[in-house]
Amino acid sequence: MKHPETVLEINLTDLTSNYTYLKNKIRPEVKMMAVVKAFGYGSDAVAVAKHLEALQIDYFAVAYAPEGVQLRRAGITTPILVLHPQPGNFELLLDYDLEPNLYSQRVLELFITKVKTAAKQAYPIHIKYNSGLNRIGFSDAEIPVVLEHLCNAQEVKVVSLLSHLAASEEHEERAFTLEQIARFTKFSEQIIAKIGYTPLMHCTNTSGILNYPEAHFSMVRCGIGLYGFGNDAVYDKNLFPIASLRSVISQIHELTPGDSVGYNRTFVADKPMRSATIPLGHADGIGRQYGQGKGFVMINGNRAYILGNVCMDMIMVDVTDIDCEEGTRVVLFGKDMPADVLAGTTGSISYELITGVSARVIRQIVD
Ligand SMILES: *Cc1c(COP(=O)(O)O)cnc(C)c1O
């Protein structure tokens, strides 16, 4: 398909701008880890990683091992942290030089056993501390067990100590966040005192980088910021959404009062109207929750709201008062209409909308 009508355009120049902006927020000696999980937040993980590697990013993070394998197969040589390594994927980690984030006694022991069997030495690992998110991570009570393994196993070497903030974008949760940072600092000090070397330390995601400069330690983990969202209007004006979802109008219908639009006839015109059909639907990542007048698309600078139900492959929008014709370009989100605005119409967030653009939508890379 040379000219697909529905496209997710990925702008690498904007990625460079976001990277530069975020890089300027950290001290020169602090390393930056780019989080490229979930297909680079729904964009194109390989294109994004290659671009950031050329900009000399220090580290990558993915959620699951197969995501790291995809990057290695594409030629990425920068270290890759796997945030949620699963014992069933340990073989893949070793085969593709991927570094596990170990978070419990069970996975730590299983991984050490695996490395021993493979006869590897000083395999890079990362140790995750649960400072309050209560998702994955070691607790304070487990510190002795962690230390026992780390001090006795020559097979592994701790590259970093990390934790994850629960509410780095919530200003009302500042006290809790500072407590998390203090707990992580104390945990790290105890580990470092015993293992006799100093691994990297990191606990900030994008909002953590922007709101807690005192918590950058020796590395930061940046996801959504690189893709153009700062979770706060103050930062959003300096960041550019790199992904833009657009399409075209397939057909326009003139509706007379009483005409219904779409499945189950949930929308019925009560006046003469015009509807436009757009070739993308819930199978492309625009969920049914955007239907019934909640979500909209941008046509010539105007919001055209979705009429009735979102179909699998199409949506119909209200263009009664909008100057447009069949073939007119339509934007769902991008630089001029950030994804968090459309997501917000259904109580969702940028993260969910951008990572949900399905594989069916052609990605077009613009440099
Ligand atoms: C996804 C993730 C990040 C990135 O968070 P952003 O808010 O997108 O910057 C960082 N750390 C961990 C552990 C994550 O799971």
CB 142 within 8 A of CB 175: no
Rounded CA separation 58/55 (Å):
9
CB 340 within 8 A of CB 293: no
Is the shortest distance between the CB of 224 and ligand 1 below 6 Å? yes
Is the shortest distance between the CB of 206 and ligand 1 below 6 Å? yes
Predicted confidence at residue 258, as pLDDT, reads 98
Mean pLDDT of 195-218: 97
Pick the closest to residue 318 from 264, 363, 254 (CA basis).
254
Is the shortest distance between the CB of 350 and ligand 1 below 6 Å? no
Residue percentage of the chain with pLDDT more than 90: 98
Is the shortest distance between the CB of 126 and ligand 1 below 6 Å? no
Report the catalytic residues.
37, 263
Rounded CA separation 100/110 (Å):
12
pLDDT, tens digit (0-9, with 9 covering 90-100), for 81-112: 999 999 999 999 999 999 999 999 999 999 99
- DSSP string of 105-163, one letter each residue: HHHHHHHHHHHHHTT-SSEEEEEEE-SSS-SS-B-GGGHHHHHHHHHH-TTEEEEEEEE
Predicted confidence at residue 153, as pLDDT, reads 87
97 C-alpha to center of ligand 1: Å? 21
CB 4 within 8 A of CB 363: no
Count other C-beta atoms under 10 Å from residue 329's C-beta.
Answer: 13
Residue percentage of the chain with pLDDT more than 70: 99
212 C-alpha to center of ligand 1: Å? 15
* pTM, to two decimals: 0.97
Predicted confidence at residue 92, as pLDDT, reads 97
- State the Cα angle at 242 between 240 and 247, rounded to 5°: 120
Indicate if the pLDDT at residue 4 is higher than 90.
no
Indicate if the pLDDT at residue 2 is higher than 80.
no
Predicted confidence at residue 3, as pLDDT, reads 74
What is the rounded average pLDDT for all residues in the chain? Answer: 97
From residue 355, give the alpha-carbon distance in Å to each of 45, 350, 359: 11, 8, 10
Strand partners, 251: 277
Place of tokens 């605005």: 341
Is the shortest distance between the CB of 205 and ligand 1 below 6 Å? yes
pLDDT, tens digit (0-9, with 9 covering 90-100), for 285-323: 999 999 999 999 999 999 999 999 999 999 999 999 999
User: Going by CA atoms, what residue is nearest to atom 4 of ligand 1?
Assistant: 223
Mean pLDDT of 63-92: 98
Indicate if the pLDDT at residue 1 is higher than 60.
no
Indicate if the pLDDT at residue 52 is higher than 60.
yes
216 C-alpha to center of ligand 1: Å? 14
214 C-alpha to center of ligand 1: Å? 18
